[in-house]
């Protein structure tokens, strides 16, 4: 079976790496090309992850870069179709919910190539998020839906997707968390930043709903200003967020003594920071899952989540973008009012094995 494994943006790499490694174990059965769309392209948003996750140089690099949604999705489609016209795979494997995911799936389905969606079935029910649209479209044109939680299976069934296409396998991002932990443990990032394990808060923000409107963005930074008086905050800043900080002339927040803003960090340093944080504040999807497995309290700065299992079973809580709510829950957690959780079913480090075993059954 010839497989194209697609990556494009930062959250894809750690979901795809375990699959790539697992496919390599069966060279007589699978031929896998790693395809990078170039949606993310910086050293800090892309190259460092390839090195740290021990991924090879992509076999196909589309180099599309940034752009508006239609433009970026369209460019990926044009480039990917051209790249595979003369040498088509039997299966295109996509992960998550970024524009690269939906773009390559659409190209594949129109060429009658099978599509497998890793992390299928998640739903926020919030159509204002581009990711929700990407998820729904990708799921509906996929032949294999590899789900990470039981609620995802239910979402797919409720939408009329055939049961035979749905495979509850667990979470490949958590495979990476386990696999790279020995390397993560060796990092000294806390010392480099001047913070002590267990005594700092980690924050990431990049969603348009939080960073694209100046009153919300400023409200969030005012809250961080208050919180950092109590405990240092480490803030690896996404390029989009830095761009908006400059656009809204909010550079003064870069000077706060206990708000340690860094460039985007590599996987190992970031996981080390996450693992030892007292509290994580985020609007990311992946961090809601990783904190649940690490047992670190997580406040998600969104009104909804497509990963409700992290709330039902894990350490995650939704607080929206309201400064009073964020402040109140942050302070309560620092005072010891933490939510205990457990690790969701199949988030055990063996999801890629389950996925590849399903593909082996189908290809034989």
Enumerate binding residues for ligand UD1 (CB under 6 A).
9-11, 39-42, 45-46, 66, 97-99, 130-131, 206, 238-240, 243
Q: Is residue 239 a contact partner of residue 264, using CB atoms and an 8 Å limit?
A: yes
Q: Which of 91, 262, 296 is nearest to 193 (CA)?
A: 262
CA 96 to CA 137: how far, in whole Å?
12
Taking the complex as a whole, the smallest distance from the CB of residue 103 to ligand UD1 amounts, in Å, to 9
Strands 259-262, 233-236: pairing is parallel
Q: Among residues 72 and 330, whose Cβ is nearest to ligand UD1?
A: 72
Which residues are CB-neighbours of 336 under 8 A, at least 6 positions away?
none
Taking the complex as a whole, the smallest distance from the CB of residue 27 to ligand UD1 amounts, in Å, to 32
Beta bridge partners of 33: 4
Q: How far is CA 331 from CA 69, 87, 261, 323, in A?
A: 38, 56, 21, 12
Q: Among residues 22 and 132, whose Cβ is nearest to ligand UD1?
A: 132
Task: Verify whether residue 206 is a known catalytic residue.
Answer: yes
Taking the complex as a whole, the smallest distance from the CB of residue 38 to ligand UD1 amounts, in Å, to 9
Taking the complex as a whole, the smallest distance from the CB of residue 13 to ligand UD1 amounts, in Å, to 11
Of the candidates 117, 206, 238, 268, the residue annotated as catalytic is 206
CA 130 to CA 304: how far, in whole Å?
14
Cα–Cα–Cα angle for 177, 179, 182, rounded to 5 degrees: 95
Q: Among residues 174 and 227, whose Cβ is nearest to ligand UD1?
A: 174
Catalytic positions are 206
């Amino acid at each position: 079976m010839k497989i194209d494994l697609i990556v494009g943006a930062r959250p894809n790499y750690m979901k795809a790496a375990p699959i790539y490694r697992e496919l390599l174990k069966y060279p007589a059965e699978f031929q896998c090309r790693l395809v990078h769309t170039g949606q993310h392209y910086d050293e800090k948003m892309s190259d460092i992850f390839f090195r740290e996750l021990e991924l090879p140089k992509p076999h196909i690099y589309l180099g599309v870069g940034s752009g508006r949604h239609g433009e970026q999705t369209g460019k990926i489609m044009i480039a990917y179709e051209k790249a595979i016209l003369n040498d088509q795979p039997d299966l295109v494997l996509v992960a998550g919910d970024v524009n690269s995911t939906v773009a390559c799936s659409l190209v594949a389905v129109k060429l009658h190539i099978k599509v497998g969606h890793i992390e299928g079935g998640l739903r926020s029910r919030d159509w204002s998020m581009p990711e929700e649209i990407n998820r729904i479209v990708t799921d509906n044109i996929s032949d294999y839906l590899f789900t990470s939680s039981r609620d995802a299976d239910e979402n797919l069934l409720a939408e009329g997707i055939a049961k035979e296409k749905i495979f509850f396998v667990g979470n490949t991002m958590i495979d990476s968390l386990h696999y790279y932990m020995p390397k993560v443990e060796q990092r000294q990032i806390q010392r480099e930043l001047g913070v002590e394990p267990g005594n700092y808060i980690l924050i990431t923000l990049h969603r348009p709903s939080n960073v694209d409107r100046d009153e919300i963005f400023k409200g969030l930074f005012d809250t961080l200003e208050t919180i950092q008086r109590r405990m240092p905050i480490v803030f690896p800043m996404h390029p989009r967020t830095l761009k908006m900080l400059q656009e809204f002339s909010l550079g003064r927040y870069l000077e706060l003594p206990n708000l340690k803003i860094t460039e985007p960090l590599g996987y190992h340093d970031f996981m080390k920071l996450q693992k030892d944080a007292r509290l994580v504040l985020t609007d990311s999807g992946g961090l809601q899952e990783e904190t649940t497995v690490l047992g670190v309290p997580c406040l998600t700065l969104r009104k909804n989540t497509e990963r409700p299992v992290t709330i039902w079973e894990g350490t995650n809580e939704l607080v929206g973008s309201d400064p009073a709510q964020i402040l109140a829950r942050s302070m309560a957690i620092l005072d010891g009012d933490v939510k205990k959780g457990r690790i969701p079913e199949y988030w055990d480090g063996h999801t890629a094995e389950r996925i590849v075993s399903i593909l082996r059954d189908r290809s034989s």
